[in-house]
Amino acid sequence: MRRRPTLKAYKYRIYPTDAQVVFFAKTFGCCRFVWNRMLDKKLQAYKKKERIPGVIPAEYKKEFSFLKEVDSFALCNVQLQLEKAFKDHFRNRKQFNLPKFKKKRDKQSYTTNNTHNSIRVNFDKGLLYLPKLREGVKIELHRRFDGKIKSVTVSRTNDGKYYASILVETDNRRNKVVEPKSKACRIDVGLEHFATVTNDFGSYKVEHPKYFLKAGERLSRLQKSLSRKQKASKNSEKARLRLARQHAYITSARNDFLHKLSKAIIDENQVVVVEDINVKGLLKTRLAKSVADSGWSKFLTYLKYKAEWYGRTFIQVDRFFPSSKLCHHCGYKNGVLALHDRTWCCPACGETRDRDVNASINLYFVGLGWPKLRLWSRLWWMTVAPTGYLKSHPEQKQEAQPFTVEQSAIWFY
C-alpha cells in the first residue's frame, strides 16, 4: 500500500549578496506594509462592530507602485496569514489574541510558493533559486532531501542572519528508525533537574543546562551598554547586534539540547509518558524566568512529533494526576506535599521518596498499562496499588478491572 505524501520542512542558512539583501529588505518591507494596511482596515470595521471586509493586496498596487517590484506570491501569503489569524481568534479567543501590527525591528520573513518550477535547489553548486532571483542564492545544504518543493520561507533574524525553510512533499519523513531498547519511559520535568527519566532499566536524572540564567551577567552588561548609546547611531546599532547575537546563541544552544535529548528518548523507548504542564500559569509566578529558560513546551512538542514520525506511542497524562504525591510502593497519597519538599517519607510503608523519581516511576506504570485501556480509565492500575497488589503480583496487573468515571473521580478528589 502506497504511503500518503506528507510535508516536511528543511531549514538552511543562506548567504545573499548585497543586491539580494536589498531585494529581501524590499520584500520584507512590502509584506509588512500590506499586513499593516489590511489589518488597520479590518480592525476599524471590527471596532465599529461592522462586518470585517475582505481585502486583497492587488487593491494597493495601483496606489503604491513599489509593491510590483516584489514577488506577488509573498503578498498573497500575507493575506492568507492575516485571514487565518482572524479565524483563529474568533474560534478560540482565550488562546488567540487579535493580530497585531508588525514592526521593522522584529523578525522579518516572507513566504513564496513554487509554481512552474520557480523554486529549485542545485545541490552540486549549493544554490537556491527563488522567484525574481534567477542568479540563485548561496545556501549551506548540510543535508539532502527528496520530493517536490511546495514553498519556501525566507527569514532574517534580529542578529542579521538569513535562513530559508523549504517545505517539501515527501513519502517518508523519517530519518533512521532504531529498534527501541525499553518498552516504556516516563519523563518528569523540573527546575532543579531538567528531567527525571524512568524506563525498564531504572531511573536517571538529566542535568539542567540553564543557558539563559548562566548568561544573565553578560546579557545585563550588553543591555546596559546598549542603553548608554545614542539612539539611531552606528554605535547603538553595533551594541544592538551584540545583544541580539547573545540571545540567538542562547536560543540555538537550548534548541540543540532539546532536539538531541528528545531524539535520544524516542530512539530508546516504545512508549513515552509525560505529564501535562500549565506553562502559561507558571510564567505568571516568581519562577517565570526559570520556567522560560527550561523550554518545557518546546520539549513536549519535539517529543510528540518525533514519536509520530518514528512510530512510537506518546501519552500525555492530565496535569491534576498526583504523580508526586502517590507512593509508588504502596499507593499512599500525601495530600500535604508542598512544592519545596524534594523528598518525603511515606507513613504507610516507611520508605523515603525522592519527589521527581517517585513521580517518574508512577507514570512509568501508566505507560505499561496504556494499550489495554480506554481513554477514561488510563490510570486503572491505581485501583490495586493501595493494597500492595501491584508489587506482589506484577504478572497479574493486566487482569484488574478498571474503575468507572465516577469511581476515578472519588479516588482523585
Nearest to 136 by CA among 150, 152, 119: 119
> What pLDDT score does 360 carry?
63
User: What are the grid coordinates assigned to 28, written together?
Assistant: 520584507
Of the candidates 219, 341, 384, which has an alpha carbon nearest to the alpha carbon of residue 289?
219
Q: Where along the chain do its domains lie?
A: 6-170, 182-207+256-412
Residue 275, strand partner residues:
317
Of 71, 268, 293, 356, which is the active-site residue?
356
Among the listed residues 71, 268, 275, 293, the single catalytic one is 275
**Helix intervals (H) in 62-205:** 72-91
Which among 188, 268, 341, 406 is annotated as catalytic? Answer: 188
Q: What angle do CA 352, 356, 359 make, to 5 degrees?
A: 90
DSSP letters of 253-288? HHHHHHHHHHHHHHHHEEEEEEE---HHHHTTSTTH
The helix or strand, by DSSP H or E, that contains position 129, with its residue range, turns out to be: strand 127-130
Give residue 403's pLDDT: 31
0.95 exceeded by the pTM?
no
**H helical segments located in 126-215:** 211-214
At 273 the pLDDT is 83
**pLDDT at res. 402:** 35
Along the 413 residues of the chain, how does pLDDT read in single tens digits? Answer: 455 678 899 999 999 999 999 999 999 999 999 999 999 999 999 999 999 998 899 999 989 999 999 999 999 999 999 999 999 999 999 889 999 999 988 889 999 999 999 999 999 999 999 999 989 999 999 999 888 999 999 999 999 999 999 999 987 767 778 888 888 788 878 888 898 887 878 778 899 999 999 999 999 999 999 999 999 899 999 999 999 999 999 999 999 999 999 999 999 988 888 877 888 888 888 888 898 999 999 999 999 999 988 888 888 876 656 555 566 556 556 555 555 555 656 755 756 666 566 666 666 655 455 333 333 233 333 443 333 333 333 443 333 333 333 333 223 22
**71 is a catalytic site residue:** no
Is 318 assigned a catalytic role? no
DSSP run (H or E) holding 368: helix 355-369
What are the b/e assignments for 59-79, b being 16+ CB within 10 Å?
ebeeeeeebeebbebbbbbbb
CA distance 53 to 93: 20
Q: Return the CA Rg of the chain.
A: 26
CA angle 100, 33, 47 (to 5 degrees): 40
Please state, in angstroms and rounded to a whole number, the distance separating the CA atoms of residues 142 and 177: 20
Alpha carbons within 13 A on the beta-carbon side of 153: 15
Alpha-carbon span 292 to 21, nearest angstrom: 33
- Sort residue 148 into left (φ over 0), alpha (ψ -120 to 50) or beta: beta
Catalytic residue check, 188: yes
